[in-house]
């Protein structure tokens, strides 16, 4: 089985409004009887939540719906996606790293999964605003 890729006909950037990128939280917090609680690492790698929205026309909405229904089997399968946060950092346009390993290469594509079902909202006549969440796999 091959992992699907975000369609080239859909936007490669997210709308600024409603976009958020969070660090993965793999900590375990335990309450104590007195004083501050204890905290320790629970996982060595944690998914990073992303909230985003894209603006598409009717053809883009149809392509996103096909990507959801067919390619990711209703949002159940992971997919490769451009890195929105570090898309121009440390990688060539073709995605190859500028720095040799073991330097951290933050601009590499994301392995993502849909966190919420995309919801199409009318936006400016012929366009649709589609908000959704993603989980970026470590």
In contact, 24 and 48? CB cutoff 8 Å: yes
**By C-alpha distance, which of 12, 45, 66 is closest to 135?**
45
Residue 47 lies in a domain: yes
In this structure, is residue 74 part of a structural domain? yes
Please state which of the ranges 1-10, 41-50, 67-76 shows the lowest mean pLDDT: 41-50
* 118 inside domain: yes
Calculate the average pLDDT of the chain: 82
Residue 7 has pLDDT above 80, yes or no: yes
90 within some domain: yes
What Cα–Cα distance (Å) separates residue 136 from each residue in 44, 64, 92?
Answer: 15, 18, 21
* pLDDT over threshold 80, residue 105: no
C-alpha 39, offset from chain centre: 27
Which SS3 state, helix, strand or coil, does residue 111 take? strand
Is 61 or 109 the better-scoring residue by pLDDT? 61
pLDDT exceeds 70 at position 103: no
Query: CB of 74 within 8 A of CB of 68?
Result: yes
| 11 belongs to a structural domain | no
Confidence band for 13, pLDDT divided at 50, 70 and 90: confident
Please count the structural domains in the chain: 1
Domain that holds residue 110: 20-26+38-136
Query: Which one is predicted more confidently, 15 or 112?
Result: 112
**pLDDT top residue among 74 and 44:** 74
**pLDDT (tens digit per residue) in 70-94:** 999 999 999 999 888 766 555 566 6
Q: What are phi and psi of 67, to 5 degrees?
A: -60, -45
Asked if residue 116 is part of any domain, the answer here is yes
Domain-located, residue 49: yes
């Amino acid at each position: 089985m091959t992992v699907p890729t975000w369609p080239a006909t859909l936007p490669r950037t997210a709308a600024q409004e409603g976009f958020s990128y969070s660090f993965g939280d793999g900590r375990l917090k335990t309450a104590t009887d007195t004083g501050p609680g204890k905290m320790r690492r629970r996982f060595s790698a944690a998914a990073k939540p992303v909230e985003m929205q894209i603006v598409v026309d009717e053809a883009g909405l149809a392509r996103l719906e096909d990507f959801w229904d067919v390619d990711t089997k209703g949002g159940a399968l992971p997919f490769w996606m451009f890195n929105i946060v570090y898309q121009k950092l440390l990688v060539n346009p073709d995605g190859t790293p500028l720095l040799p390993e073991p330097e951290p290469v933050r601009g590499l594509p994301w392995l993502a999964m849909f966190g919420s079902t995309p919801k199409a909202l009318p936006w400016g006549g012929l366009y649709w605003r589609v908000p959704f969440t993603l989980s970026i796999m470590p």
